[in-house]
A and B are shown apart, each in its own frame.
Chain A
């Protein structure tokens, strides 16, 4: 993996910044909500203590309601008694079931309301077999049960206003004028709208519907019934007023009686954030909710509508404990505190205080928005910074390795270390760079030593050789017997061979100097090649030497002597490897890239990997045919030196058909 990619992955750690931010926001939210909760409990507690003291405001024990009591909501206005449910639909009054079991043949629901002391009821009864009363037979009936088991009977003969009649043994069928009712048949049964004065009920109310089945002979079945006749309840106006004073903004207060009925309420929840939040279904919001979402919580019950607290917290609070609970409303949360009202050791009711998390959520939402912005910005900055840094780093390292590679590969003259770039940076890469340069410097010294070794060696050996030689020459002048003379001759033979070797060794260094001082002129390379070919043919009659050159002059700038030497070396090299009847071909071609001068010969091929080193000093790649000839690997090195002096490029290749090798140089244009 590239360094840049590695650092890019490391930059992912920068994502911990937003994560930490989210954690912080969550913590902040939690603390704020806890504070909310404490505040709620405190205010509920204060209210509960106050209500416990005020007997008039909250009597509690006087009228005992039951969970199946009928609850009359406060209505904003008086409904019109017309058998239509229009106005009820707009009011926050939840329909309550009339029946206890859904398996009954007839079922129904009711809505109860209270306006200026009057009680209103809207009954919605499903009856698959509606039947009107006739003089001979009683039809479907509706009954109101009041205190003492008194039954007020409504038995309509047709849709419209119905009169109620007391069904009692004492009075017979007495009409009740405090009751007004309108009975209308609906698509699946009846709609009955009632208005009652509380005086006629004496605080007790039960509802019953009697259905005349279609298959029976006028017998009324049990129909449906709203429980036992019991105390109906409604919110106390005084309590409402009082609670309104205590309900600060966003705080909703409620008082429950012992059965969970809402006997007082005040204030409204702040739920504005909820709907807005739902619409902002952006990526950000999603991430946010994903990050901040906690365990699932139950949704808020709508107790002002149902008139009854049915949640576990309130019910358990009725046993005398202070409870807190959290409900969800949209993506808002509503905290609720339930504190029992205890008077004389008896729990009379519960004070409920609620507050939504709208303000907290709003605060954290804003914080989140800002955090997300800055976090993303900083993450991007960190990632970009790291990427930039990695790029710079990898560029530097790549440059270093490229420099090292080119310094090692490029055989151009000059020292290795000089070609290596210098750096002043003080970091580890700078150190590496300097270490490289130092290393190459050492290598330079070493190569220089190797290059000059032969020259030095030949120089140093010359003096002892001269001693031997002059001594032998002197010895020749002495009177030696025949046998001794043989040995002296052998010795001088050996010294002359040694001298030849020394000459060959110093040739390279001599050449380097003469190459440096060579004078350039413009001359015809074509003529030179042709003459040289003729010369080689004379010199080596046993070898088949051919010349392939253009028929026109090829003028180049250079030293003809040096080029001649170069050709000598190339031809020498070719002759070393050319088989007995092989062909050596001198070639001169004017190509696109420049003038190509080649010497190719039949014979063994070059090993692939050695081609580039072929022209280095002291490298002898191929096995020569004559193992005894002195071969120091200098010939092609000299070729390279001369080529470089002419700014030409040397090359060594195998012939395409594999019959031999081509060595040569290109004079770059």
Chain B
């Protein structure tokens, strides 16, 4: 059975392009023009993944509302924001609402598809629970890229896909400085320096929430970041 992807987007041309692209990849994609129609459809049947625009018609933050409702009903549902709004504030809001990724509309289709694939992979990994995964261990940190999961002292760290890729890139060669550009390449995103910085900040916070003494990510001013192992 094809995976069902819902695209909630008020711009029909873009939506149709995405639908076409997704169908070409073998997904079953459905397009909803506004929050109401999307929500009604979701009541009938939950999609396997939702791509939501923040601004839906007259509702400036309709996407956020929809995300919140969806998350409440389906905690495991992968949700991606795909929007023209690239403000730091919006990115943070979106991620905070429980979205798995936040993409701006100038992202290439290949990248978007890669994200979707990665998300599905994580969902699959979580459900299948196989042990032959690619795994990295750096001190208290363990990363399983097949399951798209990271743990610190055995406790899972709730990282988004982008964040996970960044951590993965940093930890592959501990002690080596990764420039912002390298991190961007690793996460398959085109972001400005500032967004990288805020991503790093969020990553740190998430680790610190688990372990107040966390200090593994070190800033090399002017160059980038490096992962230190105690």
Q: Are A and B interaction partners? A: yes
Contact, CB under 8 Å: B222 / A467? no
Interface residues of A in 529-558 (CB under 8 A from B): 531-536, 538-539
Contact A565 B109 (CB under 8 A): no
- Give Cα A506 to B83, complex, Å: 14
Contact B110 A473 (CB under 8 A): yes
Task: Check B182 for interface membership: any CB of A closer than 8 A.
Answer: no
A-contacting 9-mer, from B30-38, B69-77, B121-129, B193-201: B193-201
State whether B194 touches A564 (Cβ < 8 A): no
User: Is the pair A533, B85 in contact by a Cβ cutoff of 8 Å?
Assistant: no
With both chains docked as a complex, state the minimum distance between the C-beta of A568 and any C-beta of chain B, in angstroms: 8
A274: interface (CB < 8 Å): no
A516 to chain B, nearest CB (A): 10
With A531-B221, A538-B223: A462-B106 Cβ-Cβ less than 8 Å: yes
Residues of A within 8 A of B20 (CB): 474
Which of B24, B85, B222 has its CB near the most chain A CB atoms (within 10 A)?
B222
A561 at the interface (CB under 8 A from B): yes
Closest to A466 in B: B105
| Chain B 210-221 interface mask (CB, 8 Å, partner A; 1/0) | 000000000111
Please give the distance in Å from A625's CB to the nearest CB on chain B: 23
Q: Does A509 contact B (CB under 8 A)?
A: yes
A-facing mask of B74-102, CB < 8 A → 1, else 0? 00000000001111110000000000000
User: Closest CB-CB distance, B92 to chain A, in whole Å?
Assistant: 9
Q: Contact between A535 and B223 (Cβ–Cβ < 8 Å)? A: yes
User: Which residues 1-45 of B have a CB within 8 angstroms of A?
Assistant: 11, 13-14, 17-18, 20-21, 24
For window 603-617 of chain A, which residues contact chain B by CB distance below 8 Å?
Answer: none
Q: Which residue of B lies closest to A537 (CB)?
A: B222
Q: Classify the secondary structure of A's interface with B.
A: helix
Question: With a CB–CB cut-off of 8 A, which chain B residues contact A514?
Answer: 88, 194, 197-198
Q: Which residues of B contact A8 (CB under 8 A)?
A: none
B222 close to A532 (CB less than 8 A): yes
Count, chain B residues at interface, CB 8 A: 32
In the complex, are the beta carbons of A462 and B89 less than 8 A apart?
Answer: no
Asked if B17 and A467 make an inter-chain contact with CB atoms under 8 angstroms apart, the answer reads yes
A17 on the B face (CB < 8 A): no
User: Which of A463, A473, A538, A564 interacts with B221 by CB under 8 Å?
Assistant: A564
Contact yes or no, B104 A534, CB < 8 A:
no
A535, B11: Cβ atoms under 8 Å? no
Say if the beta carbon of B134 comes within 8 Å of chain A. Answer: no
For window 330-384 of A, CB contacts with B under 8 Å fall at: none
Q: What distance in Å separates the Cβ of B207 from its nearest Cβ neighbour in chain A?
A: 16
Residues B109 and A473 in contact, CB atoms below 8 Å apart: yes
Which residues on A sit within 8 Å (CB–CB) of B221?
Answer: 527-528, 531-532, 535, 560, 564
B109 nearest in chain A by CB position? A473
A601 CB to nearest B CB, Å: 17
Give Cα A295 to B125, complex, Å: 127
Contact B84 A474 (CB under 8 A): no
Task: From known contacts A474-B21, A510-B87, A513-B89, infer whether A465 and B223 are also in contact, taking CB-CB under 8 Å.
Answer: no
Known contacts A531-B222, A561-B197, A459 near B84 by CB under 8 Å: yes
Within 8 Å by CB of A470, from B109, B193, B197, lies B109
Would you call A567 an interface residue if the criterion is a C-beta within 8 Å of the partner chain's C-beta atoms?
yes
| Residues of B close to A534: CB separation below 8 A | 222-223
B184 to chain A, nearest CB (A): 12
* A499 in the interface (beta carbon within 8 A): yes
Q: A467-B14, A528-B221, A560-B221 are in contact. List 20 more A-B contacts (CB 8 A).
A: A459-B84, A459-B85, A462-B86, A463-B11, A463-B105, A466-B11, A466-B84, A469-B106, A470-B14, A471-B17, A474-B17, A474-B21, A503-B190, A503-B192, A507-B194, A510-B86, A514-B194, A531-B223, A534-B223, A560-B219
Chain A residues packing against B (C-beta within 8 Å) = 458-460, 462-463, 465-467, 469-471, 473-474, 477, 499, 502-503, 506-507, 509-511, 513-514, 517, 527-528, 531-536, 538-539, 560-561, 564-565, 567-568
**A-B pairs with lowest CB-CB distance, top 4:** A535-B222, A532-B222, A470-B17, A466-B105
Supply 14 A–B pairs (Cβ within 8 Å), ascending by A.
Answer: A459-B84, A465-B105, A469-B105, A470-B21, A471-B17, A473-B17, A503-B190, A503-B192, A506-B86, A513-B88, A514-B198, A531-B220, A535-B220, A561-B197
